[in-house]
Amino acid sequence: MVEKEIKLQRRYGILHGVGVISGLVFGSGIYVAPTGILRQVNSGALALIIWLVSGILSFVGALCYAELGANAVKCLTFAKYVLEPIFDCGDVPMMADMFLAIIFCWFLVIINCFYVKWSARTQTSFTICGIIALLSIIITAVVHVSSEGKLNDPNFGLDKATVSAEKIVLAFYSTFWAYGGYQALNFIVDEIEKPKRNLPIAIGISAIISIVFYISINFAFIAVLGSETVANTVAVGSLFAKKMWGPLWFLISICISINLAGSFNSGLVIASRLTFIAGKKGDFGSAMSLVSIKYLSPVVAILTEGIVITLAILVRDIYLILNLSVFFNQASEALVFLGLIIWRFKKPTMDRPIKLPLPLLIFFVALLFLLLIVTAYSKPLHTVLGLAIFVSTGLGYYFIFVSWKNKPKSYLKLRHTVTVFLQKLFYAANEDTDDS
């Protein structure tokens, strides 16, 4: 009898990699971000320009991640689109979408813990369903505009825009959050087939697809509903479907829900792998790096992410979570890419399958820091809150789990006891090494 190796399997090729990234990028951002952007700039044309510029900048960021080789909002948005057909005549009750979001979160947590192959295989199906929903909206809008001969938006022109540094930055904030997800494959590189080849290809394909779809879908919403309507609607996809599809509008809502399910599933996979990697390094002890012997999944890391996401869902304020998420993401990216520049000088002879021009890399890092500075000026409360969380958790994590070497024996004993308990509870063990 051949003993099974306890190790995460390489399940992701180029198609699956594109599915993971696209599934993550084509999430709640494509249905939530248009509202936030138009609230700031009040012009459809300027909103589309911001989407294009942000897409190009995000593509540069994607290439940075390719050279190098952060979900609650998705749950809440998913719940709104599921419940929208049920509460067609009125607003969705406050507790209903939160309750469904938590149930949905833990359904996918269980799937990822105990049915890993099913989760990986259906991710591509989720993404395809989402693309079908997006194509349906885009084609419907094109037909509508062609038949009408005009856009249904008196505020489309640039002359209608309300321009200020604060509003432009906040609009970019929403787009950067929507485009976020290109770093996903870096966290599952051990599960990618031929990662040096497939990772940059998957990132590049996903980035191009994302830019095209985001600009097209926003044009569709603005052309049919108008900028003012989009700016004041959360479930903009459902409103579009109600206007254009009549009694069959719920079909779009179902497709959007499946798309969001795939987006959340991608986010859960990526976040749990990040926690898993921290466990492998020994930062959290070995508990977070436990792999189910039967299912070959990082079960403890996935369950931990489920708990964190549930707590975030209870906050309920989508735009507060969005702003804080983007702040964390931009701050992290600025520091990571600054490290990439330093790495260029420290290891100039390193083999790099992809190597960006250094001036472009420096420009992108400078832009990220500029966005953070302008945000600190325009939204001081959110910045202080974000910095407090970012610094306290970051420094706390570093000093407790990384820097502090001589930990008390009582702490080490407790950590060992917890690890052994979780091993027995989930029938799990640490991952086999390549030389074991």
Beta pairing partners, 192 = 12
Report the distance separating Cα 342 and Cα 230, nearest Å. Answer: 43
pLDDT at 4: 55
Residue 323 has pLDDT above 70, yes or no: no
> Rounded to two decimals, what is the model's pTM?
0.71
Residue 74 has pLDDT above 60, yes or no: no
Which element (helix H / strand E) includes 430? strand 428-430
* Residue at 56 is within a domain: yes
Write the pLDDT tens digit of every residue in 175-205.
Answer: 877 787 777 777 676 677 777 777 778 888 8
Least confident of 32-46, 78-92, 218-232, 371-385: 78-92
Buried b / exposed e along 366-376 (16+ C-beta atoms within 10 A)? ebbeebbebbe
* Residue at 1 is within a domain: no
pLDDT at 81: 45
* Residue at 4 is within a domain: no
| Domain total of the chain | 1
pLDDT at 6: 61
* Residue at 389 is within a domain: yes
Q: What is the DSSP string of 67-98?
A: HH---HHHHHHHHHHHHTTTTTTSPPPHHHHH
pLDDT at 204: 82
* Residue at 61 is within a domain: yes
Q: What angle do CA 32, 174, 390 make, to 5 degrees?
A: 115
* Residue at 51 is within a domain: yes
* Residue at 3 is within a domain: no
pLDDT confidence band for 139 (50 / 70 / 90):
very high
Residue 93 has pLDDT above 80, yes or no: no
The whole-number average pLDDT for the span 57-63 is: 75
Tokens representing 247? 């009694």
pLDDT, mean over the chain: 76
pLDDT at 56: 83
| CATH number reported for the structural domain that contains residue 327 in this entry | 1.20.1740.10
Residue 147 has pLDDT above 50, yes or no: yes
* Residue at 7 is within a domain: no
pLDDT confidence band for 216 (50 / 70 / 90):
very high
The whole-number average pLDDT for the span 348-369 is: 78
pLDDT at 202: 83
Write the pLDDT tens digit of every residue in 387-430.
Answer: 777 677 777 777 777 677 788 888 888 888 888 898 888 888 87
Structural domain that includes position 24:
14-430
The whole-number average pLDDT for the span 159-174 is: 76
